[in-house]
Amino acid sequence: MRQHKGMRPQDIVILLKIVVLGSQEWQFQDLARSLYISGAEVSESLHRSSFAGLVDPTRKKVHRVSLSEFLKFGFSYVFPQSPGPLTRGMATAHSHPLLKNHVISSTAYVWPDFEGNDYGQAIEPLYPNQVKAAKEDPKLYDALAMLDAIRVGKVREKKFAFDYLSNLLLNEPSREYNKD
């Protein structure tokens, strides 16, 4: 039996990718290609998530309530983040369009990306190719930006982000989340 050495940040991204895929059929290699992660890493990640009780034993179905509880109560402690230097990048946390119109802030947060259109304090992505994956999947981008709001936000941003993620994970009727 393989030893469990704890969750890694990309594990959460992989779980959220499965959630945003919804009922769409997928294989490990599909996740690997869309997230720019090796197939072996996807397999190992889902093994860790299974051991942690975040996916079923087939490693195909996310335990959404468990993931929601982890995101609310543990995520910011396990994967903390402090904003870094100013850089060009892709908007995240309260600078993301979902939160931008609900939060007034003079500070902007971005994932570093030389091709980005935004400028702000750097937030380290959960894994190196996260920006590439987020550019190709708007729903995943929204979810990952909300994770950053949980990691670095104030109470109001954290509540909005968690409400958004709860709605995504648990399909709870909630407020409209639009970018207008």
**Is residue 165 in a domain?**
yes
Please give the mean pLDDT across all residues of the chain.
Answer: 91
For residue 5, pLDDT over 80 is answered with no
Last residue of a domain, one of 78, 100, 135: 78
For 103, phi then psi, to 5°, come to -130, 130
Q: Are residues 98 and 70 in the same domain?
A: no
Give yes or no for a contact between 169 and 19, defined as CB atoms under 8 angstroms apart: yes
List the domain range (segments joined by +) for residue 34: 9-78
Return the pLDDT at 96.
Answer: 95
Q: What is the mean pLDDT of residues 5-25?
A: 93
Q: Is 150 helix (H, G, I), strand (E, B) or coil?
A: helix
Q: Which of 70, 59, 79, 90 is nearest to 165 (CA)?
A: 70
Residue 91: the pLDDT is 96
85 pLDDT tier (thresholds 50, 70, 90): very high
Q: Tell whether 66 and 123 lie within a shared domain.
A: no
CA distance linking residue 99 with residue 80, whole number of Å: 20
Whether residue 65 is found in the same domain as residue 118: no
Those residues whose C-beta lies under 8 Å from the C-beta of residue 53, and which sit 6 or more positions away, are 63, 66
CA distance 83 to 15: 24
Number of domains forming the structure of the chain: 2
pLDDT (0 to 100) of residue 171: 81
pLDDT single digits (tens) 102-128:
887 889 999 999 999 999 999 999 999
pLDDT at residue 3, rounded to an integer: 65
Least confidently predicted of 25-34, 88-97, 170-179 = 170-179
Across 78-98, average pLDDT: 95
Which of 78, 96, 114 marks a domain boundary?
Answer: 78
